[in-house]
Amino acid sequence: MCESWSGGICIAQSLKIPHDNKQAYFDKIIRQLLETRFARAVIIFAYDEDIRGILNASKRANEVGHFLWIGSDSWGAKNSPIQGLEDAAVGAVTILPKRATIAGFDAYFTSRTLENNRRNVWFAEFWEENFNCKLMSSSKKEDTSRKCTGQERIGTDSKYEQEGKVQFVIDAVYAIAHALHNMQKELCPDQSGVCGEMEHAGGKKLLKYIRSVSFNGSAGTSVTFNKNGDAPGRYDLFQYQMNINSTPGYKVIGQWTESLQLHIDEMQWPNGEMEIPSSVCSHPCKTGQRKKMVKGMPCCWHCEPCDGYQYQYDETSCRLCPYNKRPNANRTGCQPIPIVKLEWHSPWAVIPVFLAMLGIIATIFVMATFIRYNDTPIVRASGRELSYVLLTGIFLCYIITFVMIATPDIAVCSFRRIFLGLGMCISYAALLTKTNRIYRIFEEGKKSVTPPKLISPTSQLAITSSLISVQLLGVLIWFGVDPPNTIIDYDEQKTINPDKARGVLKCDITDLQIICSLGYSILLMVTCTVYAIKTRGVPENFNEAKPIGFTMYTTCIVWLAFIPIFFGTAQSAEKLYIQTTTLTISMNLSASVALGMLYMPKVYVIIFHPELNVQKRKRSFKAVVTAATMSSRLSHKPSDRPNGEAKTELCENVDPNSPAAKKKYVSYNDLVI
């Protein structure tokens, strides 16, 4: 089987026909030819019976008209190879050397008999085959019992047709005769007949003389040989045609005499095809596909697509695109991967921004209310200095939402590093200072009537500032070790389908760095929660321990939910959006919990119940602490006496005007937060 190729003919398969002409062998040959189905042209060098076997096998495989048969001169224009198989042979192109009928040979051969042609040892066998008879009992012909009479005549008692190669046999004999004549003239110029030098010349020397002969042959055409010993090619081209407009048979469609002369318009093709059928082992690969060559078949290949992030480098290979690129639509090259970032209009950003705006408005409102009523008992009793610090931290927790969603650049990345953990750090540093103060006050009160150290507003601000400075110091070290910058992360959204690949523009802050930045604030939060638990038994009338406790419990739940979501989406294609949204919402919720539980009740009283915003009577430090530890044992309700006086009975017998007692009295506003 072959196909056309830019260099001439390309052999897709080369198969041998076995000597044992079994039907199974021919069926196997057809199956093998169909493995390269698009290579339809099949050149056959075979005897008549083998040609019939191949045509029969194509009919059994129901492939009549698929193959384009090209027969050698052994097929030629014979009818015997295709008798009964004409439909399978339609369109077959065959060749025959140009030949002429030698009239003298017909007269000679038809006059040959058993009596005048005894010198030909094979003539008797020909006689039996030609006349279908036996010459003697020892004859090998077994398919007939009729005896030959010897009076049969060739062409009269049997069909006769001159063998087409008679011309070439005669010319071959004349070629040797001319070569011997030329050799004799050159080697034995003074002698006649064969001389000694001719007898010892050898076959190679004779071949030299044969290749150099030149004469007119029996058909009147010149006989010569080229340097390779081949005679000039002169062929007639036939095609077996069978249609309703002509008689079935071989039709001359061209010739070869030093060049091809083919009448394509006179050719007919199987199954009524109008166009010249193609015969290729493999069709050209589509754009974006590479050829995978079949071993041993230079014109056969399989087409494999360049998949993933590969593009077609040349016709036989694919290559990966650079890290920041992806293949174009037809995979002939690479193009930049689109860059994305978290947009303000994205659903992932809308919810956090909405919560942050509500939180900022609420925080400003609370802060404005506290400033407006700065000298009222409730504001003073809440510890004004730390309250403003806490409100600042809450405000920064809301502000970080906008910094996290803003388009990354060096300035934005710097603000992210600074404010990412600062708002939480300020908030929980203030709350920790408050809870620690409450804890120390009531623990010290159990041991003595002397107030503990560092419970004044100035001391509380100093403690809070020192806690916040640790966070700021860590951020400064971070700036020095690794200056802020922006990066484009192509791994985060580098999906299997390159069409969906995106590069994510973001700050060069890793997940671990985010957790480390928040880690100190989380440590403060946990410590504050521990103190909130320890002070949970303090009566609500005396301090904010219980609201702080509820705030910390809720905040811990929020951050416990944040951690698995944050790290669980690390491999997600939506990592940037999910993690940013989760982080900002968690910070918004933390700030909202603190704002709602610690400040909204006070604001409610200040605005809607100003009659409750009055100065309570002062109690001694010892009385307050004792009342706190014994409150669970008192059966009196707060409504029995105004302003909770039932809880100060333990110190009512003390004269508040005495010098000793003055040392033991502490303002209620100094004890509450």
pLDDT digits (tens, 9 = 90+) for 475-485: 999 999 989 99
Calpha distance 282→316 (Å, rounded): 14
pLDDT at position 538, please?
62
User: Is residue 78 domain-shared with residue 223, that is, in the same domain?
Assistant: no
User: Is residue 389 domain-shared with residue 508, that is, in the same domain?
Assistant: yes
Q: Is residue 481 part of a domain?
A: yes
Confidence of residue 143 (pLDDT cuts 50, 70, 90): confident
For the chain, the distance separating the N- and C-terminal CA atoms, rounded to the nearest angstrom, is 99
Q: Is residue 475 part of a domain?
A: yes
Highest mean pLDDT among 6-10, 194-198, 572-576, 613-617: 194-198
DSSP code for 100: -
User: Is residue 90 domain-shared with residue 204, that is, in the same domain?
Assistant: no
Over residues 638-660, the pLDDT tens digits come to 444 333 333 333 333 334 444 43
Final residue of a domain: which of 556, 578, 608? 608
Least confident window among 58-72, 169-183, 649-663: 649-663
Domain count, the chain: 4
pLDDT at residue 519 greater than cutoff 90: no
**CA dist 491 to 404, 508, 580, Å?**
20, 14, 17
Calpha distance 299→420 (Å, rounded): 65
pLDDT at position 238, please?
94
pLDDT at position 21, please?
75
Calpha distance 310→321 (Å, rounded): 6
122 C-beta neighbours (distance < 10 Å), count: 7
User: Is residue 246 domain-shared with residue 201, that is, in the same domain?
Assistant: no
Kindly report the average pLDDT of the chain as a whole number: 82
Confidence of residue 4 (pLDDT cuts 50, 70, 90): very low
What percentage of the chain exceeds 90 in pLDDT?
A: 30
Cβ distance 578 to 492 under 8 Å?
Answer: no
DSSP code for 276: P
Going by C-alpha positions, the residue among 541, 551, 219, 592 that lies closest to residue 393 is 592
For tokens 């100093």, what's the residue? 462
Angle at 324 between CA 321 and CA 330, to 5 degrees: 45
DSSP code for 143: S
Q: Is residue 638 part of a domain?
A: no
- 378-382 contacts: CB < 8 A, separation 24 or more? 378/602, 378/605, 378/606, 378/612, 378/613, 379/602, 379/606, 380/669, 381/668, 381/669, 381/672, 381/673, 382/544, 382/602, 382/672, 382/673
User: Is residue 319 domain-shared with residue 448, that is, in the same domain?
Assistant: no
User: Is residue 212 domain-shared with residue 255, that is, in the same domain?
Assistant: no
pLDDT at position 545, please?
66
326 C-beta neighbours (distance < 10 Å), count: 24
Least confident window among 183-187, 453-457, 578-582: 453-457
Q: Is residue 386 part of a domain?
A: yes
Q: Is residue 112 part of a domain?
A: no
Mean pLDDT of 405-428: 91
User: Is residue 543 domain-shared with residue 563, that is, in the same domain?
Assistant: yes
Q: Is residue 648 part of a domain?
A: no
289 C-beta neighbours (distance < 10 Å), count: 19
Calpha distance 185→161 (Å, rounded): 39
**CA dist 536 to 427, 490, 669, Å?**
20, 50, 20
Going by C-alpha positions, the residue among 68, 72, 43 that lies closest to residue 237 is 72
In single-letter form, the type of residue at position 628 comes to A
Residue 604 belongs to domain spanning: 340-608
Least confident window among 199-203, 288-292, 297-301, 467-471: 297-301
Over residues 238-278, the pLDDT tens digits come to 999 987 666 789 999 999 887 889 998 889 888 878 888 88
CA dihedral 79, 83, 88, 94 (to 10 degrees): -10
CATH number of the domain that residue 365 is part of: 1.20.1070.10
pLDDT at residue 530 greater than cutoff 90: no
pLDDT at residue 617 greater than cutoff 70: no
User: Is residue 398 domain-shared with residue 435, that is, in the same domain?
Assistant: yes
Q: Is residue 37 part of a domain?
A: yes
pLDDT at position 377, please?
86
User: Is residue 482 domain-shared with residue 426, that is, in the same domain?
Assistant: yes
User: Is residue 254 domain-shared with residue 361, that is, in the same domain?
Assistant: no
Q: Is residue 443 part of a domain?
A: yes
Calpha distance 176→164 (Å, rounded): 20
